[in-house]
Structure 1
Amino acid sequence: MNVTGTDASPVGTPSAWVDVPRLQVRQFADRALAEVPELARQILDAICQEHPRMPLILDEHGDLMALVGIRRALEDFVQHLVREDGRRPHLHLEVFQEFGRGEGLHGRSLNSLQAVYRLGVRLAWRRLAEIGQQVNIPPPAMYELAESGFAFLDGLVDESVRGYAEAAARQAGERLRLQRKLTQAILRERESGGGGDVAESLAEFAAHAARIGWALPERVAVGVLLRPSRECVAPAVGAEVLLDMESEQPLMVVPDPQVAGRAEQLRRATNGWTGALGPAVPLAEAVKSLRWATAAVGLMERGLLPSVGLLHCTEHTEALVLLPPEELIGDLTDRCLAPLAGCGPTQGRRLAETLLAWLETRGGAPEVAARLGVHPQTVRYRMRQIRELWGAEVDDPDRRFELELVLRAQRLRGQLTEPIR
């Protein structure tokens, strides 16, 4: 006979209850069921004494959920004994799922709940053993009943674990929703205003942040990430970093980015990801950091910036300043480098590299030659050509500045060779 719906006897071993006369089984079950209400109350009283902090919640009928759950569990367990069709009866275990949900929603572990269940089973078994003696149930059957009782306990724990997992998933989903709402508020474009606008923004952030326990930092950096694949797992950035995985390009808001150890934390968390982290800015100006990070990611996708790991915008300021305004730089390049139009590609590139090296070093032929890895006499020859092509413009501070801008932009695009450092 299957007492709990999960056979506690070894496979192939008949249940000891098969040899117990049905009338005797019925007597045992009737006595046990008659005592269930009082036994449930005694168990709850003992649990409250052992675990005084256990919350007692009323159901929709005004009854204690814990008392209802204990009573139904006892009834379900005892009624297994008198079923003759061998089918598993319907178990009223929803309340135990609710217990698990309650523990999860209140941030407690399941350890105390399992201790409560064990105490209840121990007290119930003590009374069932007394009833078994009163109606002369053979010891082997009672031993089997004890094993079934602990198997039933495992079932209650499983239900609570299911409820606990549901609560945890619900809380995680709610936190992600609130976290995304906070992220969107922080990164929303705002018109430039005075101190009052900043104060209003911070008050709005504080209201959202309080709901997820996020402490408002003074400064933040915003990161834009590129998904390595559709099925990728979110980077484990930690609870203090806001993460929005629902955006087309995942976003993260990093508090106090210059605090010791933060850079290493982000490097580890984003292993396998690529993206860019904008500069640190005041919290109310986070959208500025987002603009830098977005521009950097655009350059990474075009192959103009390294696409390995999390790029820090502050380490690539020159590229971010010179590369994005392509039309302006393009027009300026055409005007500044017009004297090279009559030169061949190779000669034009060599003269451009020599001019840039001279503008950057402001040194003589030996310094420029060392930077280019050529002979000083070669530099002198090229500089004579440069002066013939540009004339007095190379001595004008404004023209030199424009020339250096366009030539640096060309080098960033790979059109000119990097100098020897």
Structure 2
Amino acid sequence: MEQLPELVRDIMAAMRREHPGLEFLTDENGRPRVALAIRVALGHFVRQLTEDSETPPELHEFFMEFGRNQARSGRNLNVLQSIFRLSVRLAWRSLADIGQSVGIPPPAMYELAESVLEYLDELVSHSVRGYAEVAVDQAGERIQRQRALIDLLLTEHRSDPSAAMAAQAAAVDWPLPGRVAAALLLRPARESVPPVLSGGVLIDAGGEQARLVVPDPDGPGAFERLARATGGWSGAVGPAVPLTQAAVSLHWAAAAVGMMKAGLLPNGRLLRCSDHAEALVLMPACELIDDLGRRRLAQLSDLSAVPAGRLAETLLAWLETQGSAPAVADRLGVHPQTVRNRMRQIRDLWGEELDDPERRFELELVLRVRRMRAELGEAKAD
């Protein structure tokens, strides 16, 4: 094929024009190796039209190496595919001109076009495979670096870790935020694919619980976006803290996840610890609060369950509102006179204790925990 050298020059010129930053490896004589590969590939294709021959293995290896170099250079797969589309277009245009000049009938030209595409698809597949090899290696390295950064962020430090954090963050191109929140996700199933997260959220999904570091968690819509992205996963986001105190946020996220596992907090979605602060603070101290409750609510022990429950409910409403009978009645959905009657009973049972701020605090603490447990039981029943 006499036109082959000219066609190779045209393809190389077009590649440089369309991709001016593209670098080509050269041989010992300084000639672009890709030009030789294109010439060999096109020459072999032309021979295949007249004789049965297999593609040389070295051609496969070259195109794989071409793909590897594109990945190492930081170009995405779209650039690689664009290069091949350009080469196919120019090669086919040249072959079509030749076919027309020698009078090849249209049906034969259609078959030729199919052969061109099949042949080049084979070569492209080798470049894509080479690209993928490097991309996987690079992704693995990035995951390791990102995991090291997460480890550093979520570890308690006795000295200032700012310099080490800056170095680790730079290794994964992660801009250091002023505040972060740590989160833990419970894997729904062993085969579950980790969620795809945006906004600079770091994730380590290597274990049963995925660890997350969320930058600027108080930003507008940040929690809502994270909740949507983690749909199908249960978990908790700790409070927002300065970057160097991310371990504190992790502590609360872990506490919330532990309570979710124990059935003490809702499961099946992403929770924000700050929305469940009361439960996180009070529930872990259940034994202490139960002991306190036995002493502070001993006055109800001689009553049956229903009247005792009504008095406890009324007492809590009064403690929370410090309001009048109509205000308490509105909260409980009863008549104000009913509240007055109950409050007389409560005053008879507790007497001057109701005037002691410390006793009122302890009563409210005990009754709030009881209410949380009752609400949780109703949620489980539903």
On whether the aligned pair clears a TM of 0.5, the verdict is: yes
Structure 2 counterparts to residues 392-407 of structure 1, below 5 A: 392-407=352-367
Aligned position for 1:164? 131
Letter in 2 for 1:323: M
Deviates more, 1:137-146 or 1:101-110: 137-146
Aligned position for 2:210? 250
Q: Tell me the secondary structure at the aligned position of residue 21 of structure 2.
A: coil
Aligned position for 2:281? 321
Aligned in 2, Cα 1:124/1:206: closer, same or farther, shift over 3 Å? farther
Letter in 1 for 2:45: F
CA contact (8 A) 1:278 1:289 kept: yes
Aligned position for 1:73? 41
Shift of 1:317: 1.7
Structure 2 counterparts to residues 276-315 of structure 1, below 5 A: 276-315=236-275
Q: Tell me the secondary structure at the aligned position of residue 296 of structure 1.
A: helix
CA contact (8 A) 1:117 1:153 kept: no
- Scaled by the length of structure 1, what TM-score is found? 0.75
Aligned position for 1:56? 24
Letter in 1 for 2:352: A
Letter in 2 for 1:212: V
Shift of 1:294: 1.7
Aligned in 2, Cα 1:139/1:386: closer, same or farther, shift over 3 Å? closer
Q: Distance in 1 between matches of 2:289 and 2:231?
A: 35
- Match status 1:411 vs 2:378: no
CA contact (8 A) 1:353 1:417 kept: no
Select the residue among 310, 315, 335 that pairs with 1:350. Answer: 310
CA contact (8 A) 2:11 2:87 kept: no
Q: Tell me the secondary structure at the aligned position of residue 209 of structure 2.
A: coil
Aligned position for 2:176? 216
Shift of 1:57: 2.4
Identical amino acids, percent of aligned pairs: 49
Shift of 1:401: 0.8
Select the residue among 118, 135, 139 that pairs with 2:88. Answer: 118
Q: Count residues with an aligned counterpart.
A: 370
Q: Tell me the secondary structure at the aligned position of residue 181 of structure 2.
A: strand
Aligned position for 2:156? 189
Q: Which has the larger radius of gyration?
A: 1
Shift of 1:304: 2.9
Select the residue among 151, 155, 164 that pairs with 2:118. Answer: 151
Q: Distance in 2 between matches of 1:239 and 1:163?
A: 30
Aligned in 2, Cα 1:343/1:124: closer, same or farther, shift over 3 Å? same
Deviates more, 1:395-404 or 1:326-335: 326-335
Q: Distance in 1 between matches of 2:85 and 2:262?
A: 59
Q: Distance in 2 between matches of 1:316 and 1:112?
A: 52
CA contact (8 A) 1:39 1:124 kept: no
Shift of 1:357: 1.3
Select the residue among 300, 315, 318 that pairs with 1:340. Answer: 300
Aligned position for 1:330? 290
Aligned in 2, Cα 1:146/1:338: closer, same or farther, shift over 3 Å? closer
Structure 2 counterparts to residues 234-245 of structure 1, below 5 A: 234-238=194-198, 240-245=200-205
Q: Distance in 1 between matches of 2:329 and 2:363?
A: 19
- Match status 1:260 vs 2:228: no
Select the residue among 65, 73, 90 that pairs with 1:98. Answer: 65
Q: Distance in 2 between matches of 1:63 and 1:222?
A: 53
Shift of 1:404: 0.8
Shift of 1:93: 0.9
Q: Tell me the secondary structure at the aligned position of residue 251 of structure 1.
A: strand
Q: Tell me the secondary structure at the aligned position of residue 342 of structure 1.
A: coil
Q: Tell me the secondary structure at the aligned position of residue 412 of structure 1.
A: helix
Gaps of 5+ in 1: 1-27, 192-196
- Match status 1:270 vs 2:237: no
* Displaced runs of 4 or more, over 6 A: 38-41, 59-63, 415-418
Shift of 1:394: 2.0
Q: Distance in 2 between matches of 1:369 and 1:52?
A: 78
- Match status 1:360 vs 2:353: no
Letter in 1 for 2:141: E
Q: Distance in 1 between matches of 2:278 and 2:185?
A: 21
Q: Tell me the secondary structure at the aligned position of residue 221 of structure 1.
A: strand
Shift of 1:173: 3.3
Shift of 1:410: 0.9
Aligned position for 1:25? none
- Match status 1:385 vs 2:353: no
Aligned in 2, Cα 1:302/1:147: closer, same or farther, shift over 3 Å? closer
Q: Distance in 1 between matches of 2:63 and 2:149?
A: 35
Gaps of 5+ in 2: none
Q: Distance in 2 between matches of 1:61 and 1:234?
A: 49
Q: Distance in 2 between matches of 1:404 and 1:149?
A: 81
Q: Distance in 1 between matches of 2:29 and 2:304?
A: 92
CA contact (8 A) 1:121 1:150 kept: no
Aligned in 2, Cα 1:101/1:120: closer, same or farther, shift over 3 Å? farther
Q: Tell me the secondary structure at the aligned position of residue 380 of structure 1.
A: helix
Q: CA RMSD in A?
A: 3.6
Aligned position for 1:176? 143
